[in-house]
Amino acid sequence: MNTLTKKPPASGTLSLELLLGALTAFAPLSIDMYLPALPRIAEDLRASQSVVQLTLASCFAGLALGQLCTGPLIDRYGRTRPLYAGLFVYVLGSLGCALAPTAQALVAMRFLQALGGAVALVTPRAVVRDLWSGAEAAKTMSRLMLVVGVAPVLAPMLGGFVLQHTSWRAIFVLLSVIGAVALVFTRKVLPETAPAHSKAKSLWARMGELLRDADFVGPALACGFAYAGMFAYIAGSPFVFITLHGVTEQGFGWFFGANAVGLVVMAQLNRRLLGFIPLHRMLRLALTLYAVGAAVVLAVAWSGAGGLWGLAAALFLFVPTLGLVGPNAAAIALERHAAHAGLASAVLGALQFAAAASASWAVSALNDGSARPMGIVVAAAAVLAWLAGFVGHRARARAASTEQPPRT
């Protein structure tokens, strides 16, 4: 089968892949850059740590809702016009965050910022599915993580640098500038890749197709729960590293960046392994490794074994495995839905960030002054991801076994 479904732009795919990766990086940039500032934001706005952590949960909720709204729009109106509008809203929301007078206002502006940024998450996955399918789509998504992976490496360090020289508000001003630059380059680089729109099926009919497809539901849920574990780590790590273990804001950026480098390396290893291991089997292997890493994080967080360096080592074992889960789960989920890749991409992304919002809320709600809440939520998410992946695989196998062979 030809894995290329639509010819890439004549200028080549490198600039397109760089742009798609940069757009996908909006979420980690928006989330990770201000993580070192959470303790300072709480102090400046005279709010509790739990209230300030709601700015993270509201961002996740905005990303989830925004993606659900975006999917049907980019299927109906094309990939580019909704993306332009979303990036404009992102710039406005970022400026609103910079000017927020209270923690409650910051929560609201983070939600608006995330609504706009959600378009930048849905569109790249849909564009990849417009151009590739199967293992080639998974390899392309793995390549995008080369760009995406730079954001978690640089964002906390950049945030720490900004905090050293000015206030946390400058972080959001910088994000608004990044959004404006992305808007300019998107207009120059991104072609329209959407297939011709068909009005034959309603939104609810297309949603029904997605939810009845075991090859979509299993990998999508597995991907969502896997990201929940990742964002439990993101929500809990500033308190664990900076407050609990006394790591500096810049030092936290180095710890965070090391895990991001590991994630990028694993994503590139995934490209190599797909040349030898079938896509569905690769996903099951990745989910097993993810669950093992999460179990180690829970054990170390619960026992305190090794102190700071023990926990850092456990997280380094756990976080990079997402580089094996994410690209493969996304490629499988989108494979059968080229005709409405926008909606499928939106549901996939909304599941990720709805789970992420729940995970960050759970870490905040379970806060007991230790690393245990982070470890508990990480482990619970990994178990659910593993179950979703394997239950989805069994449902797919049963469906295949009941198909009658054609008569000869």
Partners of 132 in beta bridges: 4
List, for residues 53-98, the tens digit of each pLDDT value: 789 888 888 888 888 888 888 888 888 899 999 999 999 999 999 9
Q: Is the pLDDT of residue 408 over 50?
A: no
pTM given for the model: 0.71
Answer yes or no: is 116 within a domain: yes
Average pLDDT over residues 32-42: 87
The pLDDT, as a whole number, for residue 27 is: 80
- Residue in the block written with tokens 């910022």: 113
Backbone phi, then psi, for 366, in 5-degree steps? -90, 0
The pLDDT score that the predictor gives to residue 45 is 93
pLDDT of 200 higher than 60: no
In three-state secondary structure terms, 385 is: helix
Residue at 240 is within a domain: yes
User: In Å, what is the CA distance from 308 to each residue of 49, 239, 317?
Assistant: 21, 12, 14
Question: pLDDT (tens digit, 9 = 90+) per residue, 59-69?
Answer: 888 888 888 88
pLDDT at 47 over 70: yes
The burial class, CB within 10 Å (0-12 / 13-18 / 19+), for 383 is: middle
The pLDDT tens digits of the residues spanning 226-259 come to 989 988 998 888 888 988 888 887 788 788 888 8
Please list, in sequence order, all residues whose beta carbon lies within 8 angstroms of the beta carbon of residue 323, skipping any fewer than 6 positions away.
142, 145, 149, 262, 263, 264, 265, 266, 267, 268, 269, 270
Instruction: Specify which residues 4 forms β-bridges with.
Output: 132
Task: Write the burial class of residue 403 (CB in 10 Å: 0-12 exposed, 13-18 middle, 19+ buried).
Answer: exposed
- Residue 194 included in any domain: no
- What is the C-alpha to C-alpha distance for residues 369 and 331, in angstroms, rounded to an integer? 39
Note the pLDDT tens digit of each residue in 361-403. 888 888 888 899 999 999 999 999 999 988 766 655 555 555 5
Residue 94 lies in a domain: yes
d(CA 316, CA 339): 39
pLDDT at 401: 53
Which of the four pLDDT bands, split at 50, 70 and 90, describes residue 2? very low
- Over residues 160-167, the mean pLDDT reads 87
Q: How far apart are CA 179 and CA 126, in angstroms?
A: 20
Domain total of the chain? 1
Place of tokens 């207009």: 187
CB 6 within 8 Å of CB 137: no
Using DSSP's 3-state secondary structure scheme, residue 398 falls into helix
* Chain mean pLDDT for the chain: 84
Asked if residue 4 belongs to a domain, the reply is no
pLDDT at site 5 = 46
**231 membership: H or E segment, kind and range:** helix 214-238
The whole-number average pLDDT for the span 334-351 is: 80
Q: What is the DSSP string of 155-199?
A: HHHHHHHHHHHS-THHHHHHHHHHHHHHHHHHHHHPPP-PPPP--
Residue 180 lies in a domain: yes
Rounded to whole angstroms, what are the CA distances from 271 to 3, 240, 285, 336?
A: 15, 33, 14, 21
Domain containing residue 176: 14-188+202-400
SS3 at position 4: strand
Q: What is the pLDDT of residues 303-327, one digit of tens each?
A: 999 999 999 999 999 999 988 998 8
In a domain, 6, yes or no: no
**CATH number for 341:** 1.20.1250.20
Name the CA dihedral angle for 282, 296, 357, 182, rounded to a multiple of 10 degrees: -60
Higher-confidence residue: 110 or 5?
Answer: 110
pLDDT bracket for residue 39 (50, 70, 90): confident
Look at residue 1 and tell me whether its pLDDT is greater than 70.
no
Residue percentage of the chain with pLDDT more than 90? 30
pLDDT for 199 equals 53
Residues 6 or more apart whose CB falls under 8 angstroms from that of 357 comprise: 57, 60, 61, 64
Give the pLDDT confidence of 146-155 residue by residue, as tens digits.
666 677 667 8
Residue 357 pLDDT greater than 80, yes or no: no
Percent of the chain at pLDDT > 70 equals 89
Position 405 in a domain:
no
